[in-house]
Amino acid sequence: MPEHVLITGGAGYIGSLLTGELLRCGYRVTVVDDLLYGGESLLAYFPHPDFHFAKANVWEPRAILQSVPASWPPPDAVVHLAAIAGFPACQAVGRQVAWRYNVESVQRTFEQAEKLGTRRFVYASTYSVYGLSPDGAPVTEESPLTPQSLYAETKIAAERFLLGQGAAASCAPVIFRIATLYGISPRTRFDMIVNQFVLEAYLRRELLIYQRGYSRSYLHLQDGVRGLLLGLEAPDEKIRAQVYNLGTASGNYTKDEVVSRILKRLPETTVHYKDMTFGGDMRDISVSFEKIRRKLGFEARFTLDDGIRDVLHALRMGLIQNPQEPRYRNARFIVR
């Protein structure tokens, strides 16, 4: 029988693509999602005999236990993606709600996974937990955590809980601090920097850029999904209570470098820069991905240019009819 993977937040940007990849690889997949942004991203999977969907709020105490089909074995692994994702969304809902869904729901999901006999717990965190690099050198998994936002604070708290369970729990947790993603998904987001810039350049032929010189780490979504698959397939000794930066050294770019690559495909775009700072996620950082390359053999297959091309092609072909609709964003406030 195929192994069974349960994904929380499986209707989202990462989860909807991961679901399809797992089914293609022969896994059974249960998706648990409250459909905050709709469920159209999952419709293509419903006829698949190895797909099951449960609409549930992961904060509820028995949501995971009640979502597993009675005729299926318990999940061998849980991939926890459900979250109030991004600092604008966390700021919008406030500390209490953000903590409930980004920290307490992780604790409850892990505890239920333990009861089910699940062997592995893959947690999607973010490299925003590092905040700023004090000396300008690429941050590693051992670097100090200096969160600049409520979102990062919640992710750090969830990480600490999981790492505290690592040695004694039968379910082995692994944490991936994922770079800023870009590219197309069954539930594409246009509040991710690269996707957002491509959309604005395409629709308006104009870009307004804040924090011009800031560096961030970027990763194609398909490579991000491949990294999470490594978390499911690697041996226990490489996974249990481990933290991995998920990305690629070639994905460390300044905003100017991202813009220059968009201009190669949309040269008629006018770029304006505004010197403006504001409270929130003020990352200016490059990240080391040596650990995941060395220990798990991860290598990115796609480039920033690939992602820009894919997003632009989807827009030009009309594959996304109304990209400015709210369902393509996790919060109305968008950072440039």
Q: What is the pLDDT of residues 208-253, one digit of tens each?
A: 888 777 889 999 999 999 999 999 999 999 999 999 999 999 999 9
- 188 and 124, same structural domain? no
- 194 and 107, same structural domain? no
pLDDT of residue 280: 53
CB 89, CB 331: distance < 8 Å: yes
pLDDT, average across residues 14-36: 97
> H helices of 117-192, where?
150-165
- 152 and 120, same structural domain? yes
Q: What is the pLDDT of residues 168-206, one digit of tens each?
A: 899 999 999 999 999 999 999 999 999 999 999 999 999
Average pLDDT, rounded, for the chain: 93
- 171 and 74, same structural domain? yes
User: Considering its fold, how many domains does the chain have in total?
Assistant: 2
The domain that holds 206 is classified in CATH as 3.90.25.10
- 309 and 168, same structural domain? no
pLDDT of residue 333: 43
- 48 and 170, same structural domain? yes
Residue 174 lies in a domain: yes
- For residue 333, give every residue at least 6 positions away whose Cβ sits within 8 Å of its Cβ, in sequence order, or none: 88, 91, 92
Residue-range definition of the domain harbouring residue 43: 4-181+219-246
> Model confidence at 335, in pLDDT bands (50, 70, 90)?
very low
- For residue 39, give every residue at least 6 positions away whose Cβ sits within 8 Å of its Cβ, in sequence order, or none: 11, 33, 53, 55
Residue 311 lies in a domain: yes
The domain that holds 75 is classified in CATH as 3.40.50.720
Asked if residue 324 has pLDDT above 80, the reply is: yes
- 235 and 92, same structural domain? yes
pLDDT of residue 137: 86
Residue 295 lies in a domain: no
Residue 292 lies in a domain: no
Residue 291 lies in a domain: no
pLDDT of residue 276: 58
- 104 and 193, same structural domain? no
As given in the structure block, the two tokens for residue 169 are: 């729990």
- 257 and 113, same structural domain? no
Residue 111 lies in a domain: yes
- 187 and 116, same structural domain? no
> Model confidence at 91, in pLDDT bands (50, 70, 90)?
confident
Q: Which of 193, 192, 233, 222 is nearest to 306 (CA)?
A: 222
pLDDT of residue 248: 97
- 128 and 240, same structural domain? yes
Residue 114 lies in a domain: yes
- 141 and 116, same structural domain? yes
pLDDT of residue 336: 35
- For residue 135, give every residue at least 6 positions away whose Cβ sits within 8 Å of its Cβ, in sequence order, or none: none
Listed range (25-29, 127-131, 147-151, 275-279) with the worst mean pLDDT:
275-279
Residue 333 lies in a domain: no
pLDDT, average across residues 36-63: 96
pLDDT, average across residues 21-50: 96
